[in-house]
Every structure is written in structure tokens, then in C-alpha cells.
Amino acid sequence: MTMTKVFSKDAHQIAKDALALVEKRVKKAPGGPVSRDADKFVARLPTGMRERLDARSQKDGQSMNAVLVDALDEYLEVRDDQQMELAALRLLKKELQAALANLVGTYSDQPE
């Protein structure tokens, strides 16, 4: 039995989407400067985080804003990846349960 016959088209689509996401992340070019007219958001930082952000920005040779935007972007991409992986795992579990039930049914139907 080939893998194509074991897994549904939905599982293949999720795998293709995952591959496309990986390719997108690999091809992603470093972001350019953010316009001063871009959306602004005020956030309250816990004690000591501004200093950590400043130290990281100096170490990386970037502005604190660039470090923060990069960190938020990476966090959001990881969360998107996790959601896609979770959906793929749920679908895979369902597919494996169905394949196992089919195998169990096949063997239980045979005379002893």
C-alpha cells in the first residue's frame, strides 16, 4: 500500500502548505526600515525588559524598535506554524486511526 493511498488529500494539502510556509521563511529578506508614519503601539514593559531590549539592540547593531518588531514577527510566525502543525497532527492521528481500524478489521475477518 502506498503512502498516497493511506493519507487523504487533506493531509497532503496540509503538508504542501507546511512546505510552502518553510520556503517562504527561507526566502524572507530582512525587513527594511519602518516608516515614521507606520502604525504605532504603546506597550508597558515589565521591569528590566527595556534594559534587556536596549542591550540586545546594541549587541545586534539595530534599533530597539527593529529588535522588538523582529521578535514579534518571529513569535507570530512560530504561533502560525504551531497551529498548522497541530492541525496536521490531528488529521494524521485521524488517518492513522482509520488505517489501524482497517488493518484490525482485515485481520479479524480472517479464519483462524
Q: What is the pLDDT of residues 74-97, one digit of tens each?
A: 999 899 888 889 998 999 999 999
pLDDT of residue 52: 95
Report yes or no on whether pTM surpasses 0.85: no
The tens digit of pLDDT for each residue in 15-47 reads 777 777 766 665 554 555 556 777 888 889 999
Query: Looking at the domain assignment, is residue 84 inside a domain?
Result: yes
Instruction: State which residues form the domain around 84.
Output: 69-93
- Domains of the chain: total: 1
Query: Looking at the domain assignment, is residue 41 inside a domain?
Result: no
Query: Looking at the domain assignment, is residue 74 inside a domain?
Result: yes
Query: Looking at the domain assignment, is residue 26 inside a domain?
Result: no
Query: Looking at the domain assignment, is residue 85 inside a domain?
Result: yes
* Number of other CB atoms surrounding residue 75 within 10 Å: 10
Query: Looking at the domain assignment, is residue 83 inside a domain?
Result: yes
* Number of other CB atoms surrounding residue 67 within 10 Å: 19
